[in-house]
Amino acid sequence: MGAYIISADSKAADLKPVAMAINAIIKMPVTARSKNHKGIYIENGKVIDEDYSGPVLEEVLRINETINKIPKEGGFKGVPVIVAPIRNEEGEAVGALGIVDFTGVFDLATLMEHQSEIIKQVCGKDPCPLPGESIGAKR
């Protein structure tokens, strides 16, 4: 019987089978790394980077908690992500696995749906005038 083990010393190749499976299921980019080695970034069923890390992966490894946020830096800057720790039997974070948070994307879609109402609230009418344009100017 074969065994598959993820540890703090796992390398990108060790994380690849799980990351590829998750990518195949959710059809969204997947990143993963271990505590002691950079990891892998997979998109559209292809390995994009086998020496990958990102600020949210690293933060999850530090705090050993799941994080759902929009990073302000790194390769996924401005994109909602969710990253969870991979824990050993003692509960220590030995790795981190992240995906693009498609529920966050839906939140952005909802925001776009409500864009017209938001503009009306901010500007008093929709659409707001462009810089240098007078209120009521025809476009």
Residue-wise pLDDT for 44-53, tens only, equals 999 999 999 9
Range of the domain at 71: 12-100
Q: What is the pLDDT of residue 4?
A: 86
Q: Are 94 and 6 in contact (CB under 8 A)?
A: yes
Q: Are 90 and 67 in contact (CB under 8 A)?
A: no
Question: What is the tally of structural domains in the chain?
Answer: 2
E strands, the chain, are 30-34, 39-43, 46-52, 67-69, 81-87, 93-100
* CATH code: domain of residue 33: 3.30.450.40
Q: Are 15 and 33 in contact (CB under 8 A)?
A: yes
Amino acid at 107: D
Rg (CA), the chain: 20
Q: Is residue 6 part of a domain?
A: no
Residues 85 and 126 grouped into a single domain: no
Query: Which band of pLDDT confidence, cut at 50, 70 and 90, is reported for residue 17?
Result: very high
**What pLDDT, in 10s, does the model give residues 96-105?**
999 988 776 6
Question: Has residue 114 got a pLDDT over 80?
Answer: no
Q: Which of 38, 58, 46 is nearest to 19 (CA)?
A: 46
Question: Has residue 110 got a pLDDT over 80?
Answer: no
**What pLDDT, in 10s, does the model give residues 47-73?**
999 999 999 999 999 999 999 999 999
d(C-alpha 133, C-alpha 139), whole Å? 9
What integer is the mean pLDDT of 8-30? 95
